Structure 1
Amino acid sequence: MKKLIIIALIALTAFSACKNKTELDSNGMPQTLTIAVVQAEGIDEIKKVREQIRDYLQEKLKMPVELIYSNDYTGVIEALRANKAHMADMQPFAYVIASRTLKLNPLVTLGNNGKPSTYKSVIISNAHGNIKTMDDVKARSKNLTLAFVEPASASGHLIPRAYLNSIGLNPDTAFKQTIFAGNHLTSVLSVKSGKVDIGCTTNLVFMLMTKAKMINDGDIRVLWTSDPIVSDPVVIKNEVNKDLQKRIQQAYLDMNKERPEILKAYVKIFIKDTTRRSYMVANDTLYNGLRKIAGSIKSLKAN
């Protein structure tokens, strides 16, 4: 019996340590700063660079820093809601969704010559098929399968959904079937393999997959390209100690000069020109455009 009690106490202590790992003390300080990110399956370079950023932050902040990986943006939101993460590297629409119910402070975003970096949404088809233009999509929509990425994706859902609505194609009724692929890579590969007729993604992932030889130059046809979308914010929960928030923000800004090779390696995964890229201070108003688009779509049920 005594032995069982000891084992139980050890288990309880281990559980408590795990449980308290992300809890904040009375000053809003965590034992371990935990950052939630989406894991891009098949793109090992991204995880490698993120671990380098983690190491840099840990050294700079002089406290343990941990990354937790989710398969999708919704998982990142839930990690913040469930107090399993204090921070997140969030896709813009995921931030808009999360900020409806959580108090989040944007810290930084990637800049381009002092202005926020942008990317674009694209709608794609198989280059070897007979869907060559958006006019073809409109004419044949009832026989086509459409793949979004996931509900919390700006480039893979919100922006293309708004565009399709604007040309008279309600994604919920105009197509033979509308699905969520789960991530950008699956959306693109589903188009390539012929599992779906048209798919949505971002131009950055599209170029990244070409670079990684996941697709060839002649595999995919781009049917439509959106206006620029402001890049991802790094956000933190409001209840985290305000001084620590400032230190984290400054650490990202200092990375531009102190560890430029890390930032360059991260940017280079997606784009060729790394010379003008640097972290810059982000603010909530950068994402008001996405909020307006989301508010204009009555059928949108991402929450």
Structure 2
Amino acid sequence: MSSTRRTLLAAGLAAAGTVALGAAAPALAQTRRKLRFGVGPLLPTAEDTRKAYMPFFAHLAKELNADFELFATTDWAGMAVAMGAGQLDLAWMGPWGYIIANNSTGCTALATVKYDEKPFYHAIVIGRPDLKVTKFPIDTKGLRMSFADVGSTSGWLVPTWYAKEVWKIDPKTHWKYTEGATHAANEMAVQAGQADMATDFDRNRNAMIESGRVKPGSNKILWTSAPLPNDAIVVPKGTSQAVIDQIQKIVTAITVEQAKTLLPAHYTGFVKADHAAYASIEKAGIAVGKIKAKA
């Protein structure tokens, strides 16, 4: 997201003139406020994301006896800026987006979403179906590789960390490297032959195949990461423990049956979480030099 877009997002959020969730905690059940919720670039467009996640945030606001506004950002950095500026009361963030925001603002994860009843997923690298790859990434030197936005866990952080710490390569010289694409764009680029390989995550690939946007045989998985924690529900620094406990109770009470109407396909509820649940993501961020270790 450009600095201009971030400024516009900040202005829009500030214009809401709402009361922060943490500040309203003592009278949570007695007063009705307008809460500011945010969701990152989880689907191809911000409007797609907003529509898909609106039922969940509407449910949360109802349980908190509040009105709400929902803002969908086009990159994770914009979410961190908004959270740091005190313009969001709660956000649904990707793991790396959360760690970026936590490192700069001190915001806190309180729950992790379950996907098909699992609180984890995997980063993947997909490739053209005709590629002959016996050993990844050695056999792919010189091919066209598309990484996702630098705020993406599976599309940038994790493969960058693997390249540095495990594969011992420089991705920008080992491949004909580009970065900054959305996950959907990466899938489409490989299918269209515009890239030989691209980063993604297993949940997104499966969803795009199910929706018909990607043909099952249009790519193959060349590499799969170790399990990674799913998306986080995040509140700003200073949010009281009473409010954190209340939100945890609301989201973890969502049943598999309720999730069918409140959450996008395959999401089945939440488990309690805290910052420690995302320690592996934080470690990777420090290793690749994108964040600094806390004193």
Q: Report how far residue 70 of structure 1 moved.
A: 0.9
The residue that corresponds to 2:285 in the other structure is 294
> Amino acid of the residue matched to residue 132 of structure 1?
K
CA distance in 2, matches of 1:228, 1:196: 26
The residue that corresponds to 1:228 in the other structure is 227
Provide the aligned C-alpha RMSD in A: 3.1
Tell me the TM-score normalized by structure 1: 0.79
- Which structure 2 residues correspond to residues 1-303 of structure 1 after superposition, within 5 A? 19=15, 21-24=17-20, 27-28=23-24, 31-39=33-41, 40-41=43-44, 47-111=50-114, 117-127=119-129, 129=130, 131-133=131-133, 135=135, 137-142=137-142, 144-165=143-164, 166-181=166-181, 183-256=182-255, 260-265=256-261, 269-270=265-266, 277-297=268-288, 300-301=289-290
> Amino acid of the residue matched to residue 203 of structure 1?
D
Over alpha carbons, which structure has the higher Rg?
A: 1
> Amino acid of the residue matched to residue 94 of structure 1?
G
Could you tell me whether the CA contact under 8 Å between 2:183 and 2:200 is conserved in 1?
yes
The percentage of counterpart residues that share the same residue type is 21
CA distance in 2, matches of 1:248, 1:187: 35
CA separation of 1:263 and 1:43: change in aligned 2, threshold 3 A: farther
CA distance in 2, matches of 1:68, 1:268: 17
Out of 150-159 and 197-206, give the one that drifted further.
Answer: 150-159
CA deviations over 1:75-106 (Å, ceiling 9, x no partner): 22222123221211111111111111112121
Gap regions ≥5 residues in structure 2: 1-10, 26-31
CA separation of 1:135 and 1:36: change in aligned 2, threshold 3 A: same
CA separation of 1:49 and 1:186: change in aligned 2, threshold 3 A: closer
Aligned length: 274
CA distance in 1, matches of 2:75, 2:263: 21
Question: SS in structure 1 opposite 2:105?
Answer: coil
> Amino acid of the residue matched to residue 53 of structure 1?
F
Q: Report how far residue 118 of structure 1 moved.
A: 0.7
Question: SS in structure 1 opposite 2:214?
Answer: coil
